Amino acid sequence: MAFSSNGFSMFVLVCLVVFCSLSVATCAGNFYQDFDITWGGNRAKIFKAGQLLSLSLDTVSGSGFQSKKEYLFGRIDMQLKLVAGNSAGTVTAYYLSSQGPTHDEIDFEFLGNLSGDPYILHTNVFTQGKGNREQQFYLWFDPTRNFHTYSIIWKPQHIIFLVDNTPIRVFKNAESIGVPFPKSQPMKIYSSLWNADDWATRGGLVKTDWSKAPFTAYYRNFNVTASTSTGAFSDSTWQTNELDAPGRRRLRWVQKYFMIYNYCSDLKRFPGGLPPECKRSRFL
């Protein structure tokens, strides 16, 4: 069979579309094909044939987008370059969520700060509409200078948060002791850039400096390895329940040197006793 250059390109594109439509697939994303801009108008822009997306915040509005598909288990990767300079008062959110009052949610939120001060990476897990499982971290690099990869691995056994493939948090399935775990509600991917100067920076003491607007964050290299239907994985690596030894060492390193808040250590917040999952593992 002979192909012209245009015919061959079309053949490759069709093959990729078919492959990425399977129930389990690993695909590099395209923002035009995979996401809808949901609010903010032209403050959200897609560039470079769908390979780059930006969100902006100004005095009128922020902006946001969401995935066209829902996912039930999988690995989600996205590279972000956060708002540079004085980002105090701004929040860049990147998360998975279902809908409704008993929704499940897996959160990355990047809390802006004054120039020269570090961003705070805020993580949370909601199950059946209930959150209050916050862990916060400083990053070991400047997230505004270059793109870095932020990943969520969501399996029936656990949720792992990763930064540049370094695990920073593991939330284990503790249904055996009565803790709900997100495993039955498919979720979409969401991201937004918005003003939260009533709480985001030093508890709201530092306000957004609107003279620095617009504030802009950039996204690229979205990748998903996920099931869009049954949640069944054929790859045996998806059946592994634990981090390997190097992964556990990196997790301990991050939690020892970069964690700045852990709900499982906040005795004042839970005077009646820590949540039951906190007694299960220090890596929740």
DSSP 3-state assignment of 139? coil
Is residue 109 part of the annotated active site? The answer reads yes
Q: 105, 175, 242, 277: which is the annotated catalytic residue?
A: 105
Which residues of the chain, if any, have pLDDT below 50?
Answer: 1-25, 228-236, 238-239
DSSP 3-state assignment of 15? helix
The pLDDT of residue 104: 98
Euclidean distance between CA atoms 247 and 242, whole angstroms: 9
Query: pLDDT digit string (tens) for 67-91?
Result: 999 999 999 999 999 999 999 999 9
Q: 70, 109, 134, 175: which is the annotated catalytic residue?
A: 109
The pLDDT of residue 4: 46
Is residue 242 part of the annotated active site? The answer reads no
Peptide bond into 214 cis (omega under 30): yes
pTM above 0.85, yes or no: yes
The pLDDT of residue 18: 41
**Is residue 125 within 8 Å of 105, Cβ to Cβ?**
yes
Query: pLDDT digit string (tens) for 247-258?
Result: 999 999 999 999
The pLDDT of residue 155: 96
The pLDDT of residue 255: 96
Q: What share of the chain is helix, strand, coil (3-state, %, to 5)?
A: 20, 40, 40
Distance of CA 141 to the CA centre of its chain: 18
Side-chain half-sphere of 101: how many Cα atoms within 13 Å?
0
